[in-house]
Chains A and B, each alone.
Chain A
């Protein structure tokens, strides 16, 4: 599913250059449920953004389902983000003025799904995360856990093979966090490849494999799951 070779990512802000990733070799197979752990600033988010094609590496090679990502055009990358990857952010990143239902619809709109099918599918996925009765609520009218569930429904609505979550429970209390992780676990069982960044060992224990990062390098967990 994911095959990264010698991936480096350098941020240059003015004069200072930060090497966020320093040669990552990483293979994640189909149907794996993987946790990424590491101290703050170790490059977890950077790695996740590269995996999800939200950003491009400074050097190295990345194959996603055998496709060489570096050689893709911006539009092809947009297609991948739309169809192959579902991304869940720590801060949800919902459109504030749109209802829960409309938020879930967005990827379907960019995927060109016809309106009737789109509405049906958006509703179905809201139901799946248990928010069918909150469809008309705006993000501001939802709890943190509910917002994250909307974000998950949105990430899943195009049925991507790969689901990525960057500290999905970071802004949630333990109770809501647990529900969210249950959802991811279920997704893993349903055949999605799931990668979750977390600081929570309890959560990490429930995954198949824990990848540990430190200073932009993988220090543990790159062996066989």
Chain B
């Protein structure tokens, strides 16, 4: 009953104040939409970036053999330092902070065939831990290369999802044999589709993965193409890198200070850069968002303030007709609430609409898919509503505290 009364009063008052209602609404809609969209886009960019980083693997370092740049213990400079599979064991054994190491044999033009489909693709020989480090996740029903495969030099292969399509089309691949350089290999797993933006030797979706032991036996390679390793604690990456120079320097007789003897790609450096970048980006967005809210809030508060001032006479009329203080205040709070609610909802829906339309702009590749956070929306609407309420409440209370004659005379 009471509520219906207030609603009817409120709607009536809204009619009287079309312009200010619209302005207030606009302030809240704009504030909400701007903040929600900003945050959504920011979050989308970050998530997209993380997903792509994830495709390569988090916190890993890729290690290649290099060429010495300084003479050392009787050796001249310019000597090549190729890496061998057993170096992986050496590094794991000698460096306490090392979480995992995998060698990676690589052969670019490997012929692979299934029935009439033949392709030439990159094949790598690795250890099981490679899959974990590189976030290689098998599709349902399959698995990555495991320890037994490695120990028993099994002729099993794990294939990238694109390679699977090229060879098998829609056909089931797991459990089938493909012919790799005239040798049949059992397909044990297919890569679950993943986003991978950075790579050092082509994308995983096109590759075939076999046990390093099988690979070495089949092709008789003496050297690996590269190794990947991952420290237990990403904060110790620098230390571990240093130790890799020491351990391998001792074995291959080069100066651990000779950085060119080995070459490394430390993905944590990029990750670190990106972490700082996104931190800065976030602060930037929060600053803009706050500024937007302040501007919106000032607008809302001004309008609310003006409204109450303007309406003091109205308050006087109502009080002379028997309105209690609570009537005046409640009506006001109710108004603010409705305007905030409607404005917030419209602003939020507007943001959702823009984000739905987002693919039209074709920026997803760079910006990712914007992700709306409901808390952001709630906070934005909440702040604007609160500002409106506070800036309106106190003048309204002042008006309600006057006696009717005073209010009427103002």
Contacts of A87 in B (CB 8 A): 320-321
A114 touches B325 (CB 8 A): no
Which of B12-20, B40-48, B69-77, B177-185 faces chain A? B12-20
B325 lies within 8 A of A74 (CB): yes
Task: Select B324's contact among A49, A78, A94, A114, beta carbons within 8 Å.
Answer: A78
Q: Mark A102-123, 1 if CB is under 8 A from B, else 0.
A: 1000110111101100000000
Query: Would you call B325 and A110 a contact (CB within 8 A)?
Result: no
A110–B318 contact, CB under 8 A?
Answer: yes
Cα of A97 to Cα of B403 in the assembled complex, Å? 23
Contact string against A for B residues 317-342, beta-carbon threshold 8 Å, 1 for contact and 0 otherwise: 11111111111000000000000000
A114 to B4, CA, bound (A): 10
**A75 part of interface (Cβ distance < 8 Å):** yes
Tell me, yes or no, whether A79 is within 8 Å of chain B by CB.
yes
Q: For B16, what are the chain A residues with a Cβ–Cβ distance below 8 Å? A: 95-98
* Cα(A94)–Cα(B318), bound, Å: 10
Question: With A54-B404, A102-B12 as given contacts, are A93 and B317 in contact (CB-CB < 8 Å)?
Answer: yes
List the A residue with the shortest CB-CB distance to B327.
A110
Report chain A residues within 8 Å CB of B319: 78, 81
Assess the B325–A109 pair: CB atoms within 8 A.
no
**Chain B residue with the shortest CB-CB distance to A99:** B12
A154 at the interface (CB under 8 A from B): yes
Residue B258, interface by CB 8 Å: no
| Cα separation A98 to B321 with both chains bound (whole Å) | 15
By beta carbon, the residue of chain B nearest A79 is B322
List the B side residues contacting A158 at CB < 8 Å: 322
Residues of A with C-beta under 8 A to B327 = 110
Say yes or no for B58: interface residue by CB 8 A criterion.
Answer: no
Which residues, 56 to 114 on A, are CB-close (under 8 Å) to B? Answer: 56, 74-75, 78-79, 81-83, 87, 93-98, 102, 106-107, 109-112, 114
Among residues of B, the one whose C-beta sits closest to the C-beta of A46 is B405
Taken together as a complex, chains A and B put the C-alpha atoms of A115 and B5 apart, in Å, by: 8
B199 at the interface (CB under 8 A from A): no
In the complex the two chains form, what is the Cα distance from A110 to B322 in whole Å? 6
A111 vs B13: C-alpha distance in the bound complex, in angstroms?
19
From A93, which residue of chain B is reached at the shortest CB distance? B317
**Of A56, A82, A95, A102, the contact of B322 (CB 8 Å cutoff):** A82
Whether the Cβ atoms of B403 and A56 lie closer than 8 Å is yes
- Please name all residues of chain A whose beta carbon is closer than 8 Å to the beta carbon of B5 when the two chains form the complex: 109, 115
Say whether A200 faces chain B, with CB atoms less than 8 Å apart: no
In the bound complex, residues from chain A placing their C-beta under 8 Å from that of B313 are 93
Closest residue of A by beta carbon distance from B408 = A93
Q: Are A106 and B321 in contact (CB under 8 A)?
A: yes
Give Cα A112–Cα B13 distance, bound, in whole angstroms. 19
For the complex, give the distance between the alpha carbons of A5 and B17 in Å: 45
The distance in angstroms between the C-alpha atoms of A96 and B311, with both chains bound, is 11
> Are B323's CB and A78's CB within 8 A?
yes
B-facing residues in A40-62 (Cβ within 8 Å): 49, 52, 54-56
Residues of A within 8 A of B321 (CB): 81-82, 87, 106-107, 110, 154
The residue of chain A having its C-beta at the shortest distance from the C-beta of B322 within the complex is: A82
B314 within 8 A of A: yes
Q: Which residue of B lies closest to A157 (CB)?
A: B321
Q: Is the CB of A55 within 8 A of B322?
A: no
B325 and A111 within 8 A (CB): no
With A74-B324, A74-B325, A75-B325 as known contacts, state yes or no: A97 contacts B13, CB within 8 Å. Answer: yes
Report whether B9 and A109 are in contact in the complex, using a CB–CB cutoff of 8 Å: yes
Is B1 an interface residue when CB atoms closer than 8 A count as contact? yes
Residue in A closest to B317 when the chains form the complex, CB atoms: A93
How many Å lie between the Cα of A62 and that of B92 in the bound state? 99
Known: A55-B405, A56-B403. A115 touches B4 (CB 8 A): yes
Distance of A95 Cα from B318 Cα, bound (Å): 9
A81 and B404 form a contact (CB under 8 A)? yes
CB pair A81 B15 closer than 8 Å: no
Residues in B whose Cβ lies below 8 Å from that of A93: 313, 316-317, 320, 408
Residues of B within 8 A of A83 (CB): 322
> Mind listing 30 A-B residue pairs with CB under 8 Å?
A49-B405, A52-B320, A54-B320, A54-B403, A54-B404, A55-B403, A56-B403, A74-B324, A75-B324, A78-B322, A79-B322, A81-B320, A82-B321, A87-B320, A93-B316, A93-B408, A95-B317, A97-B15, A97-B16, A97-B17, A98-B16, A102-B12, A106-B318, A106-B321, A109-B5, A110-B321, A110-B323, A110-B324, A111-B322, A115-B4
* Nearest 9 interchain pairs by C-beta: A82-B322, A97-B16, A110-B322, A55-B405, A54-B404, A78-B324, A107-B321, A81-B322, A54-B405
B contact residues vs A (CB 8 Å cutoff): 1-2, 4-5, 9, 12-13, 15-17, 313-314, 316-327, 403-406, 408
